[in-house]
Structure 1
Amino acid sequence: MLPVLLLLWGFAAQATELQVLVRFNGMPVTDAVVSLHSPAAAAAVKPGTAVIDQRNTQFTPRISVITTGTRVLFPNSDNVRHQVYSFSPAKRFELPLYSGRAAPPVTFDTPGIVVLGCNIHDWMLAYVVVVDSPYYAITSADGQVRLSAPAGTYTLRVWHPDIRDNQPVERKITLAGAAADATVDLDLAPQKAPVAPADDKLRALQEKFRRLKEQH
């Protein structure tokens, strides 16, 4: 009986390579978040620490994927102040106006999509995808990711900032030890992102006006 149990345990623990191609209208999609979910995957999650910087009045990176319980630092590498906030149900918070690295870390403890903004610079926009799984990746320019997870049945989830109705695509997938592949077609509605002022002097002037407004 023991050898059989060990054999079954070894099969369940065997890592399976899964390659996923994400497309829209037959073309590869970059910056799509791909993840695998199951009760066992949720139990394997370990919180970590991540950094989302602010450079040239933009969030860097624009899209982050983190596990539940992860603390995120928001350093400000600009020479102007920022006020980071989110009204998303998965994480509502606001960091007071600051510069440098003085802002306290924010813990993201609920799975979901968190949209970040800056109260001072309207064009700043970023996304934090909080997942209850250690198996995730973001597609590159070729629209592909490669995940490695133990054999088992999962929910394959794919999300993109432009996905219609902000609802990820989900499907059941079973990994059985041998390498596997999947193709996911998304329905995207590309949105026009807010554009930052092109001139640095204009940015500085805008910041000065905002500061004067705050003082009155």
Structure 2
Amino acid sequence: MRNLIVDKYILLVGLLFAWMDMSGAGELQAFVKDQNGKPVEDAVVLATPLDGSHVQMLKQQRNEVDQIDKEYVPHVKVVLVGSNVLFPNKDNIRHHVYSFSPGKVFELPLYSGTPAAPVQFDKAGPVTLGCNIHDWMLGYIYVADTPFYGKSAKDGKTHIVDVPPGDYSVRVWHPDMKGSEESTSRKATVDATAVTTMEWQLTLKPVFRIPRVSGGAGSAY
């Protein structure tokens, strides 16, 4: 009984210190638009401390990229370096997931259901996903080297919370952007008493989408 009380006390103290640490954190709000001023969805915004301090990777979690109706869901997924990702196939046909990206070369040959083992992503940067059976299936995993990241919604906005006060290099990546990710980098100062707002205008490339193919009634394609 005494050990249980001690364990509960240690847990409460740990939660208190965690709350104290986060209570002094700030928030970064970003808005991303295209060359025509329209909101950009699925833009990844990353904030890295300029002092080079090691930041604890707090966002480790279960990560999945689903295959639903012959599409990758979500279209863009952000994970931390070292994260494992599962690729459950929720269609009633088989898929063949692969990537030839420098950051991660792998393949999951034809399968249904959920693979027994996840894929680990241990190098920062974007990874493009394809399907060997359905050429129009295209998805992306961005492997982040900082826990302070967000992904824009349909309104082009994202909110990065629990950011410790200080100076940061903030950059943006999008699968259809022209130019390098590094060219978007800006300095920002995060204050615990205010919301830091930033805005980017990206030039997006025209994107040719391979049309979906229907195999007809009863087809397993």
Does TM-score exceed 0.5, indicating one fold?
Answer: yes
Question: Does 2:86 correspond to 1:86?
Answer: no
Instruction: Letter of the 2:177 partner, please give it.
Output: I
Using structure 1 for the length normalisation, give the TM-score: 0.82
CA distance, structure 1, for counterparts of residue 115 and residue 157 of structure 2:
37
Which residue of structure 2 lines up, in the alignment, with residue 66 of structure 1?
79
Match of 1:171 among 173, 186, 189: 186
Aligned-pair CA distance for 1:77: 1.1
Query: What is the aligned residue count?
Result: 195
Is 1:186 paired with 2:202?
Answer: yes
User: Retained in 1: the 8 A contact 2:86–2:115?
Assistant: no
Does residue 34 in structure 1 map to residue 34 in structure 2? no
Supply the RMSD in Å over aligned alpha carbons.
2.3
Using the TM superposition, give the Cα deviation of residue 165 of structure 1 relative to its aligned residue in structure 2, in angstroms.
4.1
Question: d(CA) in 2 for partners of 1:113 and 1:86?
Answer: 11
User: What is the match of residue 24 of structure 2?
Assistant: 14
TM-score of the superposed pair, with normalisation by structure 2: 0.80
Gaps of 5+ in 2: 1-19
Partner deviation per Cα, 1:14-70 (whole Å, 9 max, x = no partner): 211221111113222111111111234x53114332011111111111110111111
* Residue identity matched to 1:154: Y
Checking the alignment, whether the CA contact within 8 Å between 2:178 and 2:205 is kept in structure 1 is yes
- Distance in 1, Cα, partners of 2:66 & 2:22: 39
Give the match's secondary structure for 2:185.
strand
In the TM superposition, structure 1's runs of 4+ consecutive aligned residues that sit over 3 Å from their partners are: 10-13, 165-168
Which position in structure 1 is the counterpart of 2:160?
Answer: 147
Q: Residue deviations 1:166-214, cap 9 Å, x none? A: 53521121113222211111121131222212x4517926x3xxxxxxx
